[in-house]
């Protein structure tokens, strides 16, 4: 499945909030050197209960708005 995500870096804690047609992923990592992207993928894998290798960033490597693929 593909989902639209907005990443909120430097949050107080990591969590996923579902909104209409999009997910907001709050991560504690800063948006530097791909740290926020990695934290986003890890947070989503925990949220959906799938291994990290099944969560892939498709679009938005340098943007807050991302498209992520999750294989169950």
Domain residue spans of the chain:
2-70
Give kind and range of the element (H or E) at residue 18: strand 15-19
Give kind and range of the element (H or E) at residue 35: helix 35-48
Residue 68, beta-bridge partner list = 3, 57
C-alpha–C-alpha distance, residues 24 and 19, integer Å: 7
The first and second tokens of residue 21, run together, are 């047609």
For the domain 2-70, what is the CATH code?
A: 3.30.1200.10
Reported as a single tens digit per residue, the pLDDT across 17-61 is 999 889 999 999 999 999 999 999 999 999 999 999 999 999 999
Tell me what pLDDT residue 21 has: 87
């Amino acid at each position: 499945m593909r989902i639209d995500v907005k990443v909120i870096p430097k949050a107080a804690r990591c969590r996923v909030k579902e909104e209409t047609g999009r997910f907001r992923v709050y991560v504690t990592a800063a948006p530097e050197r791909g740290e926020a992207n990695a934290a986003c993928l890890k947070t989503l894998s925990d949220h959906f209960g799938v291994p990290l290798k099944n969560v892939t960033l498709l679009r938005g490597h340098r943007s807050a708005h991302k498209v992520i693929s999750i294989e169950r």
